[in-house]
């Protein structure tokens, strides 16, 4: 491996110390994980079976012209700033601003979050949730990636058929960041353990890419669960992520580092458990997002989930409604937030209850109800579209 292109991954000082043992660990060292808040509720397999068969309100996917628009990605070429391109569902390509030694050319660090290019989010190619919105490009057309960040091990976020070719294409020049317990998942896909760093909540690293710059990435809490089979539920950790640009540029009028741009990626998360008999505003909410906002905010851009939330009583512990996403935006002290996790694939249970055209409508309505400016504070992207933050 050439030293000229080798990545450097350095642990960051712990900014948010945890008690010993950490409250989300089951045993020490952890054999499993759990959500340590009253905002979470663990449903049983019987709950899942009964919910999936009762009071279904199935609505077929409408024609393509009634769904989210797909555009050819330009990846923000010709623009400088923090760039985020939506590839569909929870997949985003992020590029940090060019550093001052890259003026006139070059690029920033490229980070790929939860990349999924497969047609099905399933352990098999012939069954399971099927993509109804295609990716805006092929995997081979994605610009060269430096870091791949995974939020958890579910098939719609950790896709072996995407991760393997990404690794083969950039072996020796790419690094993977995952929550605790997930390194072995990637190793089983053929990714060398030395090319994977696994982190607990609140742990972070700085990744330095020669000629492209540096970026800080911190594993932060989310309210979700994990498992790729019936027997391994909660055995690996799930997370959100904080990205901080490392800005080394200076100006004559403002010497020294400028304020770094910050991005929050939620992964999958719920916000509150809403039983059938409860109302939204009487139940506890997950406190982690206020903590993240206080420790790392304000965020210049947040990528927040708005879909696959029905039926509400069953999905609320692990998936956000558009209204929940607006609350996340506020808790995180986000300046601008983009909705994701909708318009691409139907969930295993929510497919029987949720109109796929509903999340974007509700997100805009929730924005306006909250008195926020649509398109500025809260917004949506076309699949393949890039937003640039400066």
Q: Which residues are annotated as a binding site?
A: 155, 319
CA 41 to chain centre: 22
Tell me the sheet residues that pair with 25.
33
How far apart CA 72 and CA 93 sit, in angstroms, is 14
Angle between helices 358-369 and 322-331 (to 10 degrees): 50
Pull the structure tokens for residue 365.
Answer: 């309505």
The position carrying tokens 């997930």 is 182
The position carrying tokens 């490009």 is 137
Biggest alpha carbon–alpha carbon distance for the chain: 66
Do residues 223 and 288 lie in contact, with contact meaning Cβ atoms separated by under 8 Å?
yes
Q: Which residues touch 148 (CB under 8 Å, ≥6 apart)?
A: 111, 112, 115, 163, 166, 174, 175, 176, 177
CA 97 to chain centre: 20
Q: Which residues touch 373 (CB under 8 Å, ≥6 apart)?
A: 367
The 3-state DSSP class for residue 374 equals strand
Tell me the sheet residues that pair with 339.
304
Do residues 205 and 10 lie in contact, with contact meaning Cβ atoms separated by under 8 Å?
yes
Three-state secondary structure readout of 186-216: HHCCCCCHHHEEEECCCCEEEEEECCCEEEE
């Amino acid at each position: 491996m050439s030293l000229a292109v080798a990545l450097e991954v350095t642990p960051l000082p712990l900014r948010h110390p945890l008690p010993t043992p950490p409250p989300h660990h089951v045993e020490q060292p952890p054999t499993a994980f759990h959500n340590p808040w009253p905002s979470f509720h663990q449903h049983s397999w019987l709950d899942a079976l009964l919910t999936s068969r009762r009071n279904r309100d199935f609505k077929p996917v409408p024609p393509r012209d009634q769904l989210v628009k797909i555009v050819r990605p330009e990846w923000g070429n010709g623009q400088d700033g923090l760039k985020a391109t939506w590839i569909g569902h929870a997949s985003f390509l992020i590029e940090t601003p060019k550093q001052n030694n890259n003026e006139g050319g070059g690029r920033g660090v490229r980070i790929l979050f939860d990349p999924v290019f497969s047609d099905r989010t399933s352990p098999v190619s012939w069954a399971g949730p099927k993509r109804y919105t295609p990716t805006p490009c092929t995997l081979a057309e994605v610009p060269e990636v430096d870091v791949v960040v995974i939020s958890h091990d579910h098939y719609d976020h950790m896709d072996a058929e995407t991760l393997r070719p990404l690794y083969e294409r950039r072996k020796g020049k790419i690094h993977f960041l995952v929550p605790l317990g997930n390194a072995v998942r990637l190793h089983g896909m053929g990714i060398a353990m030395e090319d994977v760093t696994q982190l607990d909540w609140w742990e972070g690293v700085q990744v330095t890419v020669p000629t492209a710059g540096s970026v800080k990435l911190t594993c932060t809490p989310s309210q979700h669960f994990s498992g790729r089979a019936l027997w391994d539920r909660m055995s690996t950790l799930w997370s959100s992520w904080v990205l901080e640009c490392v800005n080394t540029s200076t100006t004559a009028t403002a010497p020294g580092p400028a304020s770094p741009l910050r991005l929050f990626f939620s992964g999958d998360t719920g916000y509150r458990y809403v039983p059938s008999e409860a109302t939204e505003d009487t139940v506890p909410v997950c406190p982690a997002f206020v903590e993240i906002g206080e420790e790392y905010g304000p965020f210049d851009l947040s990528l927040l989930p708005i879909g696959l939330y029905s039926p509400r009583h069953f999905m609320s512990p692990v998936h956000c409604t558009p209204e929940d996403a607006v609350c996340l935006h506020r808790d995180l002290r986000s300046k601008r937030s983009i909705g994701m996790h909708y318009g691409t694939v139907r969930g295993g249970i929510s497919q029987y209850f949720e109109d796929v055209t509903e999340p974007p409508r509700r997100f805009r309505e929730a924005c306006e109800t909250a008195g926020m400016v649509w398109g500025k504070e809260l917004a949506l992207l076309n699949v393949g579209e890039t937003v640039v933050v400066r």
